[in-house]
Amino acid sequence: MSEHRHTPDAHGPHSHSQTRYAQHLDELDFERSLHGCASRGDLASVARLLSRRRDVNAKDSNGLTALHYAARTGSVDVIDALILAGASVNNTSSELDSTPLHKACAGGHVGATKLLLKYRADPLARDHDGRTPLHVVASGPNSVSRTELVDLLMTAAPEAFNARDKNGSAPSL
């Protein structure tokens, strides 16, 4: 008589719950990480983690630094704390080559953009499509913040007006 052994199937009845559990753990890890705290604008937690000598320029699985997340949400206090702790203002994301300045501009965050420019973020930095932060702002909706962002970026780098992306397009203002 042959012996039959049951081998767990990767797609068996428990695989869905295991996947959800793993996803939940990943989400908890993110929420507790420097990146998660920065994305929520949680300055107290960011300061606590920085005091434990966390690598301020570490990239997460999406290739983003904590500064990218803080810029994306416009958290000026967190941006300031991260930069003072040594965060690189011109660090690019792994896949899209976007900088924190690209993220702040995409979110329409005037205060974050001002602060990043104050700390010498490159207004001519290019993402993987060859777009500068001005291209990002120009492709967004018309708003008061858009006008302010255009003024900030044009003051910082007037030549951005003529910058061409990979498709040969200049920012359309």
| C-alpha–C-alpha distance, residues 15 and 109, integer Å | 42
Please report whether residue 8 resides in a domain. no
The pLDDT of 69-83, averaged and rounded, is: 98
Phi, psi of 25 (to 5 degrees): -65, -40
Into how many domains does the chain fold?
1
Q: Any idea what the CATH number is for the domain that residue 40 is in?
A: 1.25.40.20
Please report whether residue 12 resides in a domain. no
The amino acid that residue 117 corresponds to is L
pTM listed for this prediction: 0.82
Max Cα-Cα span within the chain: 84
Please report whether residue 9 resides in a domain. no
Q: Which residues contact 40 (CB under 8 A, 6 or more apart)?
A: 73
| C-alpha–C-alpha distance, residues 71 and 168, integer Å | 27
Please report whether residue 75 resides in a domain. yes
Residue 7 has pLDDT above 80, yes or no: no
pLDDT band for position 3 (cuts 50, 70, 90): very low
Give the SS3 label for residue 53.
coil
Residue 91 is given by DSSP the state P
Please report whether residue 173 resides in a domain. no
Please report whether residue 10 resides in a domain. no
CA–CA distance from 70 to each of 46, 66, 113, 166, 171 (Å)? 10, 6, 11, 28, 25
pLDDT at 95: 82
Handedness of CA 107, 56, 39, 61 (dihedral sign): positive
Range of the domain at 40: 21-162
Phi, psi of 73 (to 5 degrees): -100, -5
pLDDT tens-digit map of 127-139: 999 999 999 999 9
CA atoms within 13 A on the CB side of 41: 8
pLDDT at 153: 98
The pLDDT of 77-90, averaged and rounded, is: 98
pLDDT tens-digit map of 96-134: 999 999 999 999 999 999 999 999 999 999 999 999 999
Please report whether residue 131 resides in a domain. yes
pLDDT at 29: 56
Whose tokens are 């974050």? That residue is 112
In our burial notation (b when 16+ CB lie closer than 10 A, e otherwise), range 141-163 reads eeeebbebbbebbbebbeebeeb
Please report whether residue 13 resides in a domain. no
Residue 6 has pLDDT above 60, yes or no: no
